[in-house]
Amino acid sequence: MKKWVMILLVILASVCTGVGYYYYNYIYRAPANVKDREFAETNSAYEYLVYDSKERMVKNKYDYKVLINPVGGGHDSGLTAGTLRESEVALSVARYVESLNEDAALGIFMTRDTDTDPTYEQRLSMIETVDPDMIIELRLTSSDDPEIMGTSILYDEEYYDPHLVNSDLADMMERSIIDKTEGRAEGIFALQDGVSDYIKTSHRPSVVIKMGYVSNSKEAEALLSETYRSNIALGILGGIDSARHTQIRED
């Protein structure tokens, strides 16, 4: 396709959808070399996400902002079981949290919203971009024992916010998710070193949500269900709401 035709299409896409910037970076500027193209696609998606996040914060005066970090992406599928991929489940649930949010004062942001794998530094920089009130990391887990199942929440016990203690946030999130999914609660646990440096360095009220075990066939099947994923998202939104009200009472 000729260059001027592509530019015209980009302009039309920008006018009609507001995402011309993304298409230009993602499609037109992508170099021919496969590895370079993959790198460019990840960076273009990240650049657009930063741009879009800033635009949203200008247009919407959010009272509360949550940044979700879906692990993996791109070539990093994370834990797998058959067709189940940790990176895909994490992104899917994050998207559900955003789409099911009906509170105009609550801003939901993500470190990635496509099947790309931003660098650790890029994910960290989203904290500076968004300046969130809460950070949530979405993961799956696995065990050598195929009978073990359940949702667990990890929290950083080293960071302390008197208005929202991380262990309290973890408990609220666990209760809300289990209420919506009718699943099994494995419990809340202090985050160990090396498990999630992203949360450890975020210095915000934050939790790591391990949504289930890929090693348990029953839970793995549930995690493939869109209904189950949307219920996890509703549980997360419920946990966020409980935490917000707690902070308001404390303030």
Report the SS3 class of residue 102: coil
List all residues 6 or more positions away from 236 whose beta carbon is below 8 Å from its beta carbon.
Answer: 93, 97, 136, 173, 176, 177, 209
Q: Which residues on adjacent β-strands are paired with residue 134?
A: 66
**pLDDT above 70: percentage of residues in the chain:** 84
Question: Which overall architecture, per CATH, does domain 62-250 show?
Answer: 3-Layer(aba) Sandwich (3.40)
pTM for this predicted structure: 0.85
pLDDT tier at 95, thresholds 50, 70, 90: very high
Two tokens at 226? 């869109």
CA dist 27 → 38, 75, 192 (Å)? 11, 19, 41
* Ramachandran area for residue 188 (φ above 0: left; ψ -120 to 50: alpha; else beta): beta
List all residues 6 or more positions away from 108 whose beta carbon is below 8 Å from its beta carbon.
Answer: 66, 68, 97, 98, 101
pLDDT beyond 90 at 56? yes
Closest by Cα among 188, 225, 193 to 210: 188
> What pLDDT is stored for residue 201 in this prediction?
87
Interatomic CA distance for residues 206 and 124, integer angstroms: 14
List, for residues 107-161, the tens digit of each pLDDT value: 999 999 999 999 999 999 999 999 999 999 999 999 999 999 999 999 999 888 8
> What pLDDT is stored for residue 20 in this prediction?
45
Weakest-pLDDT range from 13-17, 175-179, 235-239: 13-17
Q: Residue ranges of the domains in the chain?
A: 1-60, 62-250
Weakest-pLDDT range from 25-39, 155-169, 208-222: 25-39
Q: How many residues does the chain have?
A: 251
Q: DSSP secondary-structure letter at 214?
A: T
